[in-house]
Amino acid sequence: MSNEFHIVVCGSIVPDPLQTLEPVQGAQGPELKNEMMLPAVLDPWAGHALYEAADLAVKNPGSKVWLVSLGPKAKLQQVMMNIAQKVPFELVCADGSASGFTDSFEVAKVLAQSIEGIQGMDKSKLLVFGGWQSASRGSCAVMQMVGEMLGISEQFQGVDKLTAGGGGALEIMERIEGGAYQVSVCTGTPAVLGWATGELPEPPNNPQVGMQNMRLVMPALQQAKPANVQGSSLTFQSVELPQQRRETRVVKDMPVDDMAREIAEWLNS
């Protein structure tokens, strides 16, 4: 039996992981040096969530996928050109900071409001997806608060697998300590799932999907409402890069036996 899901994926942009990041003090608190210049990508965990959502929607005809994103419009537009070719979705954009230094509660509030405002979304069919953490704040807290604000008490974090069974039941595998999984069965929607890596590879670029998504993405960006995420007293006393350089002792021309002995002693110490 097939289920119809209304899947809302929460996900925003983070700096391209290969960039060099440096904190600076901005007018509103800490920010990244040249933040608006840094190339951005969709947060990798949110990406996994989005690909899982699209896959679930394909397997359950009648389902729909929305991507709810809080981020600066101009940057989101750029990132959309990278991900809109991957899978079909409808974008809901809140135009505001995607900084990792923003209070997670404030972010959750904006996301929950954006989800509530989605036209045609049926809460009884709702699955809220997102990354279980992010490459910016990495708080692992936003999804839970979004769920609470939407009144959803079935929540899962570190999800690698979701199987939708007949009758709407959901079997979910969550990461727990020691590389193990906790397996749970939830009777059905609504539920919140914070994804770890999932099981799907990144889909190839499909220009047709891109063309189709873009018809909705550009208007969504134009209609994006400004989002205020400054409503907290969170203040940073400092943000610093760790000092990394060490004095390296280079050991050459030492017999292998002596090297092995030295390493063994070190490992056993």
- Considering only residues 100 to 129 of the shown chain, the ones binding another protein according to CB under 8 A are 100-101, 103-105, 108
Residue found by looking up tokens 């904190």 in the block: 23
Taking the complex as a whole, how short is the minimal distance between the CB of residue 92 and another protein, in angstroms? 18
CB 174 within 8 A of CB 181: yes
- The reply on whether position 139 binds another protein by CB under 8 A is yes
Give the number of other Cβ atoms within 10 Å of residue 169's Cβ: 13
The 168-207 site mask, x for binding another protein (CB under 8 A), equals ---x-xxxxxxxxxxxxxxxx--------x---x-xxxxx
Residues 218-237 that bind another protein (CB under 8 A): 218, 232-237
- The reply on whether position 26 binds another protein by CB under 8 A is no
In the list 38, 118, 121, 216, the residue contacting another protein (rule: CB under 8 A) is 38
CB 41 within 8 A of CB 206: no
Residue among 7 and 84 whose Cβ is closer to another protein: 84
Q: What φ, ψ does residue 218 adopt, rounded to 5°? A: -65, -45
List alpha helices for 24-63, DSSP H. Answer: 44-59
Those residues whose C-beta lies under 8 Å from the C-beta of residue 268, and which sit 6 or more positions away, are none
d(CA 107, CA 227): 9
Residue among 120 and 249 whose Cβ is closer to another protein: 249
- The reply on whether position 87 binds another protein by CB under 8 A is no
- The reply on whether position 37 binds another protein by CB under 8 A is yes
- The reply on whether position 23 binds another protein by CB under 8 A is yes
